[in-house]
Amino acid sequence: MSNRATNILVPLVSVILGLLVGAIIMLVSGYNPVTGYTALWNGIFGDLYTIGETLRQITPYLLAGLAVAFAFRSGLFNIGVEGQLIVGWFAAAYVGVAVELPKIIHLPLAILAAAAAGALWGFVPGLLKAKFRVHEVIVTIMMNYIALHVTNALIKTVSDGGDRTEKIFTSASLRSEFFQNLTEFSRLHYGILLALIMVGVMWLILEKTTLGYELKAVGFNQNASEYAGMNVNKNIILAMVISGAFAGLAGAMEALGTFEYVSSKGGFTGIGFDGIAVALLGMNTPLGVVFGATLFGSLKYGALNMPNEAGIPLEIVEIVIAVIIFFVASGYIIRLLLLRAANKKKEAK
Amino acid sequence: MEYVVEMLNIRKEFGNFVANDNITLQLQKGEIHALLGENGAGKSTLMNVLFGLYQPEGGEIRVRGKKVDITNPNVANDLGIGMVHQHFMLVENFSVTENIILGSEPTKLGVTNKKDAADKVQALSEQYGLNVDPYAIIEDISVGMQQRVEILKTLYRGAEILIFDEPTASLTPQEIIELVQIMKRLIAEGKSIILITHKLKEIMDVSDRVTVIRKGQGIGTVVTAETNPNELASLMVGRQVEFKTEKVPASPKDEVLDIRDLVVLDYRGVAKVKNLNLNVRKGEIVGIAGIDGNGQSELIEAITGLRKVKSGTIFINEKDVTGLKPRKVTEAGVGHIPQDRHKHGLVLDFPIGHNIALQTYYTKPISKNGVIDYDKINEKAKQIIADFDVRTQGPHELARSLSGGNQQKAIIGREVDRDPDLLIAALPTRGLDVGAIEFIHSRLIEQRDNGKAVLLISFELDEVMNVSDRIAVIHDGEIVDIVTPETTTEQQLGLLMAGHKLDDNEKGKLKEGEDQHVE
């Protein structure tokens, strides 16, 4: 089998297998898989409104995926994207409500605040790793909890004891009249463009700059990087800061686009953690992240329609979605099976 | 004649590349059969075919006269074929016995029965004189001992035919002597051995017959007793090989490297370099001779800025570089061929082109304002690949997939091409074949003849004697003597390396004794 054929066949077969197993799960639980999947389809592509909402859902996944992928490429495992996203969300919303400025200043300022907050949250584990060799996984997990509870406390402070801030000024909003008219008033906002630009930015950094060369070298082999005169510690910190900034931007999408406020949270948003899967599905390349985020965002948003339209309980829906993603992630196994089948055929001849 | 293994007209292809083309190897019972070839000639491929890791595209394999189809290593095991890999496949924090039984653990009522296994390992160890403690933990024992564990592993599984893949590559001279004895013992006990190597001396010492392959082609099989190293070398390389590197006498000029009272500590805080003084001048090669672990690594790391200096000073071209960062030292005119090419020399997951740019990626014209031009990198890489005869599919091939000799040539190309005033070459020919060694030695001498200073660190006496203009002998972190190769014998050098200071009287005596020894 030619390489290209396998490259197309593998994801296709994976998705079909995932759908099949998902169907079996629905059948066994006593629900009709056809109505279930129709509801999923309609929940993703049903009308212009749902398409807009699906795209809106993909946006933060794109940035969270980039954040994780960027760290991976530099040899670091950033589990802290969740926390960096939460502080980014708060920072953007705070700038959005605290001052009123001309849009040309206010919006970029709010976005930058989110990136800076995420970067700061990435800087701490980066610094600890560089200076004291503390493993970034431990620090970033803990930083997630700190982010969650610190922002909750700050929200209470800025909203005088309430559990959400005011709506941000329109001068800081990413909402787009153009997109709203196009998609029957979905919440699709300009953030998707920013996210796609960031896909390009990550590609540029990694593939076109001296910095990207150093980050990748340090990620692969710290000893050789040190031998070549690179500042390994600086690169570790920088990788975490840039990764954190991507994550902070994902938070800005929620603060300035989707919700236009920040409310205190009982638990994590999950977007940051899903970002790990998005990055891995995309094999840590910028373009791969686009595919991973699209799959994740579509399934996550479309699934919301399954309880409504097909009456399938949310728990079953989540299992089905997880199974589909599981099969896509196991593309390697599918590749192996296809290869073996091809070999058998060859031998039979 | 009875053959235990016959590989007849084996052909193995990888895509368009023919790794083995019509190679025949016949192993007699009870012989040590050497398989000789340059790095990348196809030796490992051929053995992987025999061991069931690769399936050949053509030819047939017979074991004890019967045609067999070795589809995977388990089949090879069942046929009594065992492989002692060059890179040991051992679990570091498991005991010897645990490693040996790994994969086929004997159980009693579902519980691993280590006691019986350990007894069996002990018995085998005694039978073959291996002297291995079945309960020792792998990470606590020496490299030579670990190799014997690998040998035991194959014996434990009932191997009759043992394949040794470059077994001496990581051993000390003493361990090599012991290994040779072990191999002879194995033969005496009725085993048969295939020895993969490119070291001619070993072949002459232990093997009965030699099969030579060159660039994937079978060249032929010769009886060791009827050949000599020169013939073997030219069979392997395909041309005459000069063992003694030709060079004109050195004409040293100004000092390039000047080390004064240098003290360097290791990670435990123990002094590994003690008040060391050394200088290297333009137009000369200074060899540092010494037994591994006498401060050589620490010395190089201190010069190149990879390790902190406790006290003392290092001058390069009269500039104090003590305590500078590696990049500053590099920019002061130092090239460094590192001791461990996989750890320090290469980013194995980078393409070879990226690796060739490892010291220059941030400089003009490759980089401008932080933007890197990969076309320029590849252009430069192509030039170095051509100049230094690096055999690769091109700058885009991953460094990992090059053979050791070609990886080393790429590193040397990278360092020499920058034309540094001081070139530090640490074990530059480790694990390489005669052709590559000859090439590298002539490159070092060329640097010298171009008026550059070269500091060579080597554990191989003949390399130090052959290439250096002056030899500084290091023992326990100190330079104990500086001698010239013309007026010193290997025996004297050996004594110095062991920390024995020679007075003039003794030098005379030694010369006499040595003369008798040489006939």
CA distances from A124 to A86, A90, A140 (A): 15, 18, 9
Residue B468 and residue B441 in contact, taking contact as beta carbons nearer than 8 Å: no
Query: d(Cα A253, Cα A235) in Å, to the nearest integer?
Result: 27
Is B327 within 8 Å of A225 when comparing Cβ atoms? no
The region of weakest confidence among A275-284, B23-32, B275-284, B500-509 is B500-509
- Boundary-marking domain end, from B393, B419, B445: B419
Does a structural domain hold residue B245?
no
- Does residue B466 share a domain with residue B441? yes
B contact test, residue of A227, A232, A284, A346 with most B CBs within 10 A = A227
Query: d(Cα B96, Cα B120) in Å, to the nearest integer?
Result: 12
- Does residue B201 share a domain with residue B111? yes
CA B159 remoteness from chain centre:
27
SS (H, E, C) B307-343: CCCCEEEEEECCEECCCCCHHHHHHCCEEEECCCHHH
- Does residue B278 share a domain with residue B171? no
Is B482 in CB contact (< 8 Å) with chain A? no
For B222-246, what is each residue's pLDDT tens digit?
999 998 888 888 888 887 766 666 7
Query: d(Cα B59, Cα B458) in Å, to the nearest integer?
Result: 42
pLDDT of residue A83: 97
User: Quick check: B478 pLDDT over 80?
Assistant: yes
Contact list, A217 vs chain B (CB under 8 Å): 347, 350, 354, 358
Does a structural domain hold residue B248?
no
Of B330, B359, B362, the CB nearest to A210: B362
SS3 content of chain A, % helix, strand, coil (to 5): 80, 0, 20
Q: How confident is the model at residue B514 (pLDDT cuts 50, 70, 90)?
A: very low
Domain that holds residue B381: 344-419
Is B370 in CB contact (< 8 Å) with chain A? yes
For B107-147, what is each residue's pLDDT tens digit?
777 777 888 889 999 999 988 888 899 999 988 888 888 88
pLDDT of residue B462: 83
Of A207, A212, A217, the CB nearest to B347: A217
- Does residue B217 share a domain with residue B164? yes
Does a structural domain hold residue B244?
no
Give the residue from A121, A138, A141 showing the smallest Cα distance to A129.
A138
Query: d(Cα B489, Cα B287) in Å, to the nearest integer?
Result: 15
User: Quick check: B168 pLDDT over 90?
Assistant: no
Q: How much of chain B, in percent, has pLDDT values that exceed 90?
A: 54
- Does residue B275 share a domain with residue B302? yes
- Does residue B191 share a domain with residue B132? yes
Query: d(Cα B458, Cα B477) in Å, to the nearest integer?
Result: 15
Does a structural domain hold residue B446?
yes
- Does residue B389 share a domain with residue B399? yes
Residue B195 and residue B35 in contact, taking contact as beta carbons nearer than 8 Å: yes
Is B343 in CB contact (< 8 Å) with chain A? yes
Query: d(Cα B234, Cα B212) in Å, to the nearest integer?
Result: 10
What CATH number is given to the structural domain containing B55?
3.40.50.300
- Quick one: tokens of B337? 């061929």
Residue B225, burial from CB neighbour count under 10 angstroms (0-12, 13-18, 19+): exposed
Amino acid letter for position B297: S
A contact test, residue of B71, B325, B372 with most A CBs within 10 A = B372
Average pLDDT over residues B202-213: 90
Query: d(Cα A289, Cα A63) in Å, to the nearest integer?
Result: 9
Does a structural domain hold residue B498?
no
- Does residue B453 share a domain with residue B408? no
Tally of structural domains, chain B? 3
Alpha helix locations (H) across B8-142?
Answer: 43-50, 73-78, 96-101, 114-127
- Does residue B432 share a domain with residue B387? no
- Does residue B227 share a domain with residue B121? yes
Mean pLDDT by 10 residues, chain A (349 residues): 68 84 92 93 94 96 97 95 98 95 96 98 97 95 97 94 92 93 93 97 96 96 95 96 98 96 94 92 91 91 92 87 83 76 65
Does a structural domain hold residue B478?
yes
Count of all residues that appear for chain B in the document: 519
Contact list, B328 vs chain A (CB under 8 Å): 229
- Does residue B168 share a domain with residue B100? yes
Residue B155 three-state SS = helix
Does a structural domain hold residue B338?
no
Query: d(Cα A111, Cα B34) in Å, to the nearest integer?
Result: 69
Does a structural domain hold residue B467?
yes
Residue B500 and residue B488 in contact, taking contact as beta carbons nearer than 8 Å: no
For B401-457, what is each residue's pLDDT tens digit?
888 888 999 999 999 999 999 999 999 988 787 888 888 999 999 999 999 999 999
pLDDT of residue B235: 87
- Does residue B195 share a domain with residue B276? no
Residue A28 and residue A304 in contact, taking contact as beta carbons nearer than 8 Å: no
Residue A50 and residue A42 in contact, taking contact as beta carbons nearer than 8 Å: yes
